[in-house]
Amino acid sequence: KQEVTQIPAALSVPEGENLVLNCSFTDSAIYNLQWFRQDPGKGLTSLLLIQSSQREQTSGRLNASLDKSSGRSTLYIAASQPGDSATYLCAVQDGSSNTGKLIFGQGTTLQVKP
């Protein structure tokens, strides 16, 4: 059974710092991996999607990497801003086919202090 773990559970950094969020998964047979952002009491916003054949994706100040063989992904946030404060969720879509079923980690709650 696929399990997704995110470390750390919470992180507080001063504005401007670069930071890395970690995600690990137990079964390397994934279809894709996504990073989401969730603001308190709100739904999810997709940040980056990495297909199983890809190594990384970039969007603005965000860069996500995927090492499928070791079951790891990282989300790198450059030059953090207070507006980046939110919970970041990692999710994998299991298996070799496109079922759409996502398995989520418990998230990393980020606070960026001005």
Partner 1 sequence: GAVVSQHPSRVICKSGTSVKIECRSLDFQATTMFWYRQFPKQSLMLMATSNEGSKATYEQGVEKDKFLINHASLTLSTLTVTSAHPEDSSFYICSASKNTDTQYFGPGTRLTVL
Residues within the interface to partner 1 (CB under 8 A)? 4, 32, 36, 41-46, 49, 89, 91, 98-107
Task: Output the smallest distance, CB 11 to partner 1, in A.
Answer: 15
Q: Which residues of 84-96 are buried (b: 16+ CB within 10 A; e: fewer)?
A: bbbbbbbbbbbee
Which of 96, 114 has the CB closer to partner 1? 96
Question: What residues contact residue 19 under an 8 Å CB cut-off, 6+ apart?
Answer: 11, 13, 76, 77, 80, 110
Which of 41, 114 has the CB closer to partner 1? 41
Task: Output the smallest distance, CB 24 to partner 1, in A.
Answer: 14
